[in-house]
A and B are shown apart, each in its own frame.
Chain A
């Protein structure tokens, strides 16, 4: 299943590149103008709600429940594409966008024990940081020639790095030991949906504001190990999630060449 998804994402990347090549080859048409945009802004990052349980050695049960509250972060990106006019008062832009999201903390609760009454509670956290490359299609409308409300959609791939896992417990005395996990980068399918408007500030420059929703896809830490001094034992699972969400408010500046 996982490998199917990987292949799917790679295929999407391939088609994104193909799509970009097609667009730039079309720029020989006089009605088509290249566009370069810089964008950035606030992002509220979160992961999908998750509670997971795994069985380790000797029926030891490891249960994880995350906190899916949004965490403040930010992002920057750049878009390179083409713009053309398919109809009166409508513009269309298509191109490739790269976005870099600031890291945020995923935290949650963890129980370790054979039975509930013999379990040790932990608080865990780790860092998530995403980048994405997507093919973007943007449809703009002109109002009074200078205001351009738009909607856009993007499809592509995200590179989600999970790192710096740690777990702590307030329990003292004898405790059941919980595993730690190594850092890992997952490649995942991602998409964007956004609504906003651009405004002409010069003959070839627009600035804009927008709201954008992104689903950056799957993330996962790497191998888990129970470690006590020089003793190590791997666990047959790792900590992962299906979705990273980003609710963004962005500003952009677009250069028409």
Chain B
């Protein structure tokens, strides 16, 4: 025993302590109060992660520095990024607080303590998290296919508990006879058991089409697609298309373009499902400022009560501007927040357009492209808004990371898709090296600190698939916590177009190819033209879908990872058992979504370009 440590307290203080030791006069307190900040998670998806937040308050009147979280299993790690987050170690001045964020990737039934040597204070409540059973989830992919009579049908596959089905009502409830039409469901999105699948129906013109399911994809109806269901100024027989869909709690939106009766110009428009009914909050009646000739929404994304719709429009001078419409009150009011009246990149000239949109928690991002005055160079364009603040450009010609491999000017450079999770945001697309070559590279930028810093994770030749030759492009993406995928296609050294999935499973620290010519499962009977058009991720699961050719036939294909990217499996291929019974020789998946989550559905959709 170290006798020197005995009775080191000041006499007065010792007296106070002894007073406190009188029975029934004990204080009930602690050096730190460690209380849940919001509700704690109770389950985590297999291969996914959830977050638990605790407020740590130093109750002492002096600084406490150097404390570390102790007592938790390896399935729990401390997240130190973000405003107000506790550091590691935890340092708190007198009476100060911080937010202790814990990322949980597996089962945990344990309390924890923050300790510095022999000074330890426990959390007020333990963590109790079990691994979810995802058997109630439905994985949906949508597109189009034909039968032997060359009639086209909406293609919608449902993978539920490993059983692949094609819900019949997606065809039997079509508002038009498929024999004389060409229905195509470009995008799909779900929140819990509410799903929408949107597209068009080429029947006496191209008409907007929305399928709705309140049963997680089991059964479907078409609230939009028949006469009287479109905007009152829609001109049937002209053109209307929904190219994007997104659902959040009690709210779904579909975005696209349609031609109105009054101007005969294509206008951006939005259909919105809220409180059991469909409305059109944006039509030709409320176009973007200085609208003229043309406009469209290419993508939409919703999170909680915020939704954004992104695209482009032309003004009266035939200059195309990037366009973002936004609601922050659950669809009650919509406003244009990026248009020709807002700040543009310094060398902006024309052809500004957003193709990707993603909102998660406090961040929304939109990715696309624009051209400078030379009208020959196009640049990547990425805008973001934090916590409902103004939209700013974080990647353009003058802002953001420098390309490590390519000098200006770029050519045909664009972000096709964006995705965000709690851990990471990504923007992915493609670029050409310069104007004189035809080599097209896959491009992916990421931010792991909620948009504060963007870097390119995939851009150089070495970061392309190992058998890359040319024509690489990311078309869609998805993120769920630390697991993100960017999907698309590329041409290999044998001049074959192959599908590719790039993924990170560690929140962006490393990227690798889960599927390409040398990784992952290979498509059966593949002969040419394979590509992923869509990706969706939720609760640690990711799916990707597209098409490929076997001889002269085009087959839909759909791959899925149920274990956080460790393994991918093709669910739908040219195997007849995985196809609609009347499938003939053409089918494509363009959209995807996952239903059945008890959590907020945070699915990102991608635009498929026909």
Contacts and interface: CB of A to CB of B under 8 A. Distances in A.
Interface of A: 1, 51-61, 63, 65, 109, 111, 113-121, 170-177, 179, 220, 226, 228-231, 233-238, 240
Contacts of B79: none
20 contacts: A57-B116, A57-B118, A58-B119, A111-B20, A113-B31, A114-B60, A117-B27, A119-B30, A170-B28, A171-B29, A175-B30, A175-B122, A176-B31, A226-B117, A226-B118, A226-B120, A229-B110, A236-B5, A237-B2, A237-B5
B261 to A, nearest CB: 66
Contacts of A228: 70-71, 113, 115, 120, 122
Contact of A173 (B72, B118, B120, B124): B124
Given A53-B6, A61-B9, A120 B29 contact: yes
Contacts of A235: 118
A51 B6 contact: no
A136 B240 CA distance: 112
Interface in B1-33: 1-3, 5-9, 13-14, 16-18, 20-21, 23, 26-33
B607 interface: no
B34 A174 contact: yes
Given A54-B5, A111-B17, A229-B110, A121 B119 contact: no
Given A113-B30, A119-B29, A53 B9 contact: yes
A176 B124 CA distance: 11
Given A116-B27, A120-B29, A58 B117 contact: yes
A63 B6 CA distance: 10
A160 to B, nearest CB: 15
Contact of B71 (A55, A118, A231): A231
B71 A230 contact: yes
Interface stretch (B61-69, B287-295, B451-459, B480-488): B61-69
A113 B5 contact: no
B233 interface: no
Contacts of A113: 29-31
A119 B25 CA distance: 12
Nearest to A63: B17
B121 interface: yes
Contacts of A119: 17, 20, 27, 29-30
Interface residues of B, number: 48
Contacts of B118: 56-57, 60, 179, 226, 233-235
Given A61-B17, A228-B113, A233 B120 contact: yes
Interface centre among A111, A117, A174, A234 (most CB of B within 10 A): A174
A116 B117 CA distance: 20
Given A60-B31, A238-B1, 6 more contacts: A58-B66, A60-B118, A114-B119, A117-B59, A119-B17, A176-B121
A176 B60 CA distance: 12
B76 to A, nearest CB: 12
A65 B60 CA distance: 23
B113 A177 contact: yes
Given A52-B6, A57-B118, A236-B5, A120 B28 contact: yes
Given A173-B124, A176-B120, A116 B7 contact: no
Contacts of B243: none
Contacts of B18: 51, 63, 65
Contacts of B16: 116
Contacts of A174: 30, 32-35, 121-124
B282 to A, nearest CB: 50
A124 to B, nearest CB: 12
Given A53-B14, A56-B117, A57-B118, A116 B6 contact: no
Contacts of A176: 30-31, 119-121
A171 B124 contact: no
B8 A53 contact: yes
Contacts of A58: 64, 66, 116-117, 119
A231 B115 CA distance: 9
Contacts of B116: 57-58
A120 B30 contact: yes
Contacts of A171: 28-30
A158 B21 CA distance: 31
Nearest to A1: B3
A233 B115 contact: yes
Contacts of B113: 177, 228, 231
A118 B29 contact: yes
Contacts of B30: 113, 118-120, 171, 173-176
Closest 7 CB pairs of A and B: A57-B117, A121-B26, A231-B70, A229-B71, A60-B119, A173-B124, A177-B120
A1 B3 CA distance: 10
Nearest to A173: B124
B57 to A, nearest CB: 9
A118 B59 contact: yes
A15 B13 CA distance: 46
A119 B16 CA distance: 12
A208 B122 CA distance: 58
A109 B72 CA distance: 30
Nearest to B70: A231
Contacts of B110: 229
Interface centre among B5, B32, B115, B120 (most CB of A within 10 A): B120
A109 B122 contact: no
Interface in B100-143: 110, 113, 115-125
Interface centre among B3, B33, B122 (most CB of A within 10 A): B122
Contacts of B120: 176-177, 226, 228, 231, 233
A100 to B, nearest CB: 27
Contacts of B20: 111, 116, 119, 121
B377 to A, nearest CB: 58
A135 B17 CA distance: 43
Contacts of B1: 220, 237-238, 240
Interface centre among B3, B23, B64, B119 (most CB of A within 10 A): B119
Given A51-B18, A118-B30, A171-B28, A233 B9 contact: no
